[in-house]
Structure 1
Amino acid sequence: MPSALWEVFRLNRALLEATSRPAVRVIKKTAARKGILPGIFTALHTFGRDLQWNVHVHLSMTSGA
């Protein structure tokens, strides 16, 4: 997410709920082209190592669907 949007999400934390969806959608769309459906889970992080506000998504998926 661009840092210019961080403040918007910090002030409206309900928006954070939707941050994982685009990442999952990209993986599922790419996998569907190959005829596979992977298992996917995400973890939303709102802070970086320096404990500063830094919204980002970690995505893990199964290998070989």
Structure 2
Amino acid sequence: MSMMDKIKSMLKGHESQTDKGVEKAGDMVDDKTQGKYKGQVDTGQEKLRDEFGGGPGQDRPPQT
């Protein structure tokens, strides 16, 4: 079992908590960089949400 599979199994059922963590981490990066990389941070947040669940696409299962 890969590390990514282990993380996915730990986060399964906790999509709202995962989404909050992704959002909080993105906000922290935006604050530290004064919004300079906002587009890249937003893209990263969407990719994490797609991978681990949470956010607008919450009904979709995580990609394997």
TM range (shorter): 0.3 to 0.5
Structure with the bigger RCO (C-alpha within 8 Å, sep 6+) is 2
- Choose between structure 1 and 2: higher helix proportion: 2
Bigger share in strand = 1
Query: TM-score by structure 2 length?
Result: 0.39
Pair member with larger Rg: 1
